[in-house]
Structures are given as structure tokens and as C-alpha cells.
Structure 1
């Protein structure tokens, strides 16, 4: 049977948070931000394994998750690798290579940002159902609702950009293991900002699946407060 594996690249430092630690280890509702992200993926019935790819020099994971029974909380699905690279693309590529012996080339990999803790397992299941028979794969995304402005060098408006057919990419981004690994091995890191762009560079067109506005990426300090509100609202009474 086809397998579905989640992969989280988490080798970055999150410098825009101006924090004393990588943002995935910042506290969020009493637990590290990363824990909430891992839990959403582990709670998705279709996901067989959750692979976390850390930097070899990472010293924060064990300290941040002390006291949490990860094996029990995450249903025994978590695998931690310490083979992260200098870029997202390199980290994902290294992770895919490390798990290659355990996957068929047609098995699906869902790459998700470690700093998107408000992901809901129901949305992950929706993505899987939408793409499991797709020849290419795809990603969660939401149409852009705001008016877009292009700035000039003086930060004045140079043009209003039509928003028709524009979407904001989210994660997870879901592609077959063999296809994604081959795309990342041939693509140039500088031009690859997400997994979909690596697939696009191969002349393929990933499918857009309606995502969730609450699936925010924690990038700036104010994002933590918003993430806490979303997570609290999702908790049962």
C-alpha cells in the first residue's frame, strides 16, 4: 500500500524572531511551538511516520522537549534525523535521502514547515484525499484577498498588481518521494523557495488545494500571540 510520510525541515535559526533560540522551541501555550506542529501531523490517521530533520549542531531539541513523552503523545510516529543543511532545499533533500531505503519512489511525502503549529489534522487528511491519485501532487494554498502593491526603490507605489489567480502557498506540500528527491537533486537551491517550485522547475504543474487562513507561519514575535489564539479556539471545551 502507498505510504504517507510527513517531513519537517527544522534546521534554521529563525533570525527574524529576534529570540534567544530557534523559533520552533519558543513556548506556546506551555509547550514548545514545535510540539503543536508535530502533534497535528501525528494525529492525522493517514500519516504513517513523522520525520523531523534537525541541524547536526542542534542543541535545543532535547532541552525544549524535556518532560514530554513524545513516543506516547505522537503515537510512536516520530523519527528524528540530524542531517539538516544550510538551506531549506538542502535540508529536505538530505531528509529524503536518509529515508529513501524505507520508502518506495511512489510513496507520498508531505513537507511541512515546523513553524506552522496551527495546522489541523482534518486539513492534512483533506490534502491527502485530494492528491492521492494525482499524477503530480500539490500543496495547501489560499487565494489572495488583499490588494497588492509593487513598490519602487523609494518605497512608493509603482503599480497595483492584479490579484486574480494569485494564491499564497502554505504547507504541507505533498509529492511522491522519488519525484521530489529527483527535483531537489537537479534544481539550484537559490531558485527553490519551496518544494512546489522545485517540481515546477521540472516543467510540472502542482495542484492547489484550498488551505486554511489559520495555518499561519510563525515568523515575527507578534505571530506567537495569534497562534496561541488559534490553538485555544480549536481546543474542545
Structure 2
């Protein structure tokens, strides 16, 4: 069975406070997105990456991909107006029965181990949605009041959200819905149950300047 990773890197970088989209910021001298690409390309020799980028940053992405040894295993696709449409654009290039990873381009610290575990569970159960337990106190705010929620029941969702193509592709034939916050919600709206898997605390999403410092610390620890 073939393997595809649809890596969605369509962010604008607004929360980083700069003009450069976060996926192109430098982390120890290399663009954030390059770490993400390498993680997937290195873990499986037969995996093909579909990199989804904003239209005005396709050339920049092409330059990064061409600088990598495994650039022949990467296809660049233009993104859409929403995450749903961007993922759908990427899935249009999945043409064979396969296991499909959908991953945030700025989750550049994803480990080989998590990718492998998601793959194995997707083969077994049809899906693997990485999630970690909440450690902070959780409150739900509604209008003028708020109330505490049992944090033991809360899971924080990560990527790569991983599916059999026979599960994922039909789900993305649905019309877009504002309730679609990730791929799991799209699949569930198609009356398919999804299955969680343990994520990793280090699988952070680069959204703010502090996250780059945390990623540097994770890299230093992995090197040593």
C-alpha cells in the first residue's frame, strides 16, 4: 500500500508578528518547513510528500525543496481559501489505495516514532489522530459565565492525522462546513468513527516567537 503525506503549510505568520510566514522562518539556519519535510521523507523510503503552499510562496517552497536530496519525492500544490480546501487540493494527487498522513507544516518537531505509530494504527483501525492530555485547569466560557471542565476528559489534538485513503478521500467529497476544524471532524461528519493515538509533548506547532526557542531546545536535546 502506498504512503502519502499531505503537508499543509498555508499560514500567513500573523501571530509571529512578522512579514515572513512561519513555515519559512529559520530554525538553526534552516527553514521550519524543511525539518517537517525531512521527517516524513526519512522515515519511509517509499513515501511521497504533497506540499500545499500559498500561491504567492510556491516559488520559495520550490527553492527549498530543490535544495533537499529527496526533492524528487515532493510535489508542490497550491492551497485554497481554507484548510479544508487546501487539504482537498493535496488529496487530488492521491490516486492509489494508500495510507495518507495530513500534517501541519509548522509541526516541525514530529518524530519518526510518532509517524510510524500513526501508520501502523491507520492500517489496523483506519485512522490515527495524535492527542495529548491537558495539564492545565480547563474552563468553558459561555456568554457571561464560565464553568470548570474535568481536564481528565480533555485531549489536545495534534497531527499527523492519518487515515486509509478509502476513509479520507470520500469524506472530502462533502461540501465545506464551518464545523470542520481538522481532518478528523471531516471524516466524522461522513459517519466514520476516528481513533485517537498518544501524541507527543515535543510535537509542538510553531505559532509564536517563543515556539522557535522551544524548538531549538528540542533540537539541541536530540543532537546531544
TM above 0.5, one fold? Answer: yes
Q: In structure 2, what is the Cα distance between the partners aligned to 1:62 and 1:34?
A: 9
Q: Secondary structure, in 3 states, of the residue corresponding to 2:80? A: coil
Alignment of 1:58-207 (within 5 A): 58=57, 61-62=60-61, 65=64, 69-70=67-68, 72=69, 74=70, 76-81=72-77, 83-97=78-92, 99-100=93-94, 103-104=95-96, 106-134=97-125, 136-151=126-141, 158-207=146-195
- Per-residue deviation at 1:124? 0.5
In 1: Cα distance, 2:166 partner to 2:18 partner: 37
The offset of 1:11, in angstroms, is: 2.1
Task: Report SS of the residue matched to 2:172.
Answer: helix
1:187–1:234 distance in 2 versus 1, CA, 3 Å? farther
Q: Distance in 1 between matches of 2:2 and 2:154?
A: 31
| Structure 2: distance between partners of 1:45 and 1:63 | 22
Aligned-residue Cα RMSD (Å) equals 2.1
Aligned partners of 1:42 and 1:75 also within 8 Å: no
Counterpart CA distance in 2 for 1:63 and 1:175 is 27
C-alpha deviations, 1:96-139, integer Å up to 9, x for none?
A: 11x13xx32x31110000010111112111111222122x3121
What whole-Å deviation, never above 9, does each CA across 1:30-70 have from its counterpart, x for those lacking one? 1001111111111112651111011222256258739x731
> In 1, distance between residues paired with 2:40 and 2:208?
23
Unaligned runs of at least 5 residues, structure 2: none
User: Would the aligned equivalents of 1:187 and 1:201 in 2 still touch at CA under 8 Å?
Assistant: no
What is the TM-score when the length of structure 2 is the normalising length? 0.91
Task: Give the SS at the match of 1:40.
Answer: helix
How many Å separate the matches in 1 of 2:114 and 2:134? Answer: 19
Question: After superposition, what is the alpha-carbon deviation per residue over 1:57-94, rounded to whole angstroms, capped at 9, x for unaligned?
Answer: 2256258739x731x1x37422222x210111100001
Q: Is the 8 A contact 2:62 2:76 kept in 1?
A: no
What residue is the counterpart of 1:21 in the other structure?
20
Q: Quick check: 1:148–1:161 contact (8 Å CA) kept in 2?
A: yes
What secondary structure does 1:21 align onto? Answer: coil
Q: Which sections of structure 1, spanning at least 5 residues, go unmatched?
A: none
Shift of 1:204: 1.8
Are the structure 2 counterparts of residues 160 and 221 from structure 1 closer, same or farther at C-alpha, using a change threshold of 3 Å? same
Runs (4 or more) in structure 1 with deviation over 6 Å come to: none
**Cα distance between partner residues in 1 of 2:19 and 2:208:** 13
